[in-house]
Amino acid sequence: MKQRSRNRKVCHRCERDPISDPRLPAIPSEGDPWQCAHCRGLLHPRRGDSPRLFKARMQRYHQAAAGIRAGFADSGIAVTHLDTTNTIDGAANLLALLLISRSVSR
């Protein structure tokens, strides 16, 4: 998530957000990672990905996740932990295996 937040860029011209805070990731042009592939405008880091805001979002996430896990445990619902500290592809592969093992034909 840290890597994704560091690399994510937005386009102020393509995403006309009413409060001028675009959040949708823009697609950079092939020749310039700071140029929008759609409108050729300048791409910017997403405001919400600043280190201070990112840290606050992660703290809020961890607090909420702990409560959600506790709620599941109190209800007797098993929670599977998935190590996502490796690459995005590695995490996706682990998640795919988890989903396949949980799928049951009825």
pLDDT in tens, 52-85: 999 999 999 999 998 998 999 999 998 877 776 7
The angle formed by the CA atoms of residues 39, 4 and 30, to the nearest 5 degrees, is 35
Q: Which residues are CB-contacts of 25 (< 8 A; sequence separation ≥ 6)?
A: 8, 9, 10, 46
- The structure's pTM equals 0.56
**Nearest 5°: phi and psi at 45?**
-65, 145
Q: How far apart are CA 91 and CA 64, in angstroms?
A: 21
Helix (H) or strand (E) holding 2: helix 2-7
Would you place residue 102 in the very low, low, confident or very high pLDDT band (cuts 50, 70, 90)? low
